[in-house]
Amino acid sequence: MIEHHVSDDLLLEYAAGALDEASSLLIATHLALCPPCRAVVRDAEAMGGALLDGEPPEAMSERSPNNVLERVARPPADPAVRANTHGGADRWAGANLPQPLRGYVAETLSQRPWRRIAPGLRQLVLGTASGPTTARLFHLAPGKRIPVHSHRGLELTLVLQGTYRDECATFARGDVAQLDDSVTHRPVVDPSEECLALAVTQAPLRFRSTVMRLIQPLVGV
């Protein structure tokens, strides 16, 4: 049972097509796991549908309907090649991850491996369009503690396996933590199981410890 959802504000921006690729990836992945949020997005898209229906029509070129009918009459090219849905030997490329994330992970793993950035902490930076946000998968060992940090700008974290908790709540598969720069927290992974989470950040994390801040550029968090 998902307890932590995406805010309606973000669902509205997703439905409107106003989010960057990395944030959209996280939200679409949450939607695959969360029927109530899918219902919100469906309702929001109805606003776009009503706007489209109310648009004053602009004449299409004379040839256009026949162009499309000729095109549909041709046999389809190769059956639509899905973005690599099988990602080699890495177990995270398997069916445990919902689409669209699974495709992104498989595609990324065909180009680069996971990177170890600290003991018990690995990351995979996913191949989304370059921009102000980055999507990355974090793999955390059971019981792993992340040093105290806050966030510059918005951070979204979606748990895909295992659980972690911070000072405020516990997060399990499908849950989204939406954090902004007012939150400083110290997440701890449940000791019984490793944790896999997708994080989308607008800016690098801000660690409280000077040592962490110094090594931050080296480890790439």
Partner 1 sequence: MLAHALQSWEPKPLQPRRRSGLYVRVVDPEEAAGVQALVANVDSPEALLHAVAARQDRQSFLALFRHFAPRVKAYLRRQGADSAVADDLAQEVMFKVWRRAVAFDAAKASAATWVYAIARNAHIDAFRRTRRPEVDMDDAALVADSRPLPDDAMAHGERAKRVQDALASLPAEQATIVRMSFFLHKSHAEIAKELALPLGTVKSRLRLAFGRLRDALHEDRA
* Residues making contact with partner 1 (CB under 8 A): 8-9, 12-13, 15-21, 24-25, 27-29, 31-35, 38-39, 42-61, 64-65, 67-69, 71-72, 76, 95-100, 102, 104, 128-129, 131, 174
Nearest distance in Å: CB 182, partner 1: 14
Residue number, 3 or 167, with CB nearest to partner 1: 3
Residue number, 35 or 88, with CB nearest to partner 1: 35
Q: For helices 101-109 and 21-33, what crossing angle results, to 10°? A: 130
Residue number, 83 or 219, with CB nearest to partner 1: 83
Q: In the sheet where 134-140 sits, what is the strand order?
A: 115-118, 121-125, 134-140, 195-201, 155-161, 176-179
Phi, psi of 120, rounded to the nearest 5 degrees = 75, 15
Residue number, 198 or 212, with CB nearest to partner 1: 198
Residue number, 149 or 157, with CB nearest to partner 1: 157
Nearest distance in Å: CB 214, partner 1: 32
Nearest distance in Å: CB 107, partner 1: 10
The dihedral built from the CA positions of residue 60, 65, 70 and 74, taken in this order, carries a sign that is: positive
Nearest distance in Å: CB 122, partner 1: 22
Residue number, 123 or 202, with CB nearest to partner 1: 202
- 113: tokens are 């491996």
Q: 63-87 burial by CB neighbour count: b if 16+ within 10 A, else e?
A: eeeeeeeeeeeeeeeeeeeeebeeb
Nearest distance in Å: CB 180, partner 1: 12
Nearest distance in Å: CB 4, partner 1: 15
| Beta strand segments in the chain, E | 115-118, 121-125, 134-140, 149-151, 155-161, 164-165, 170-171, 176-179, 184-185, 188-189, 195-201, 205-207
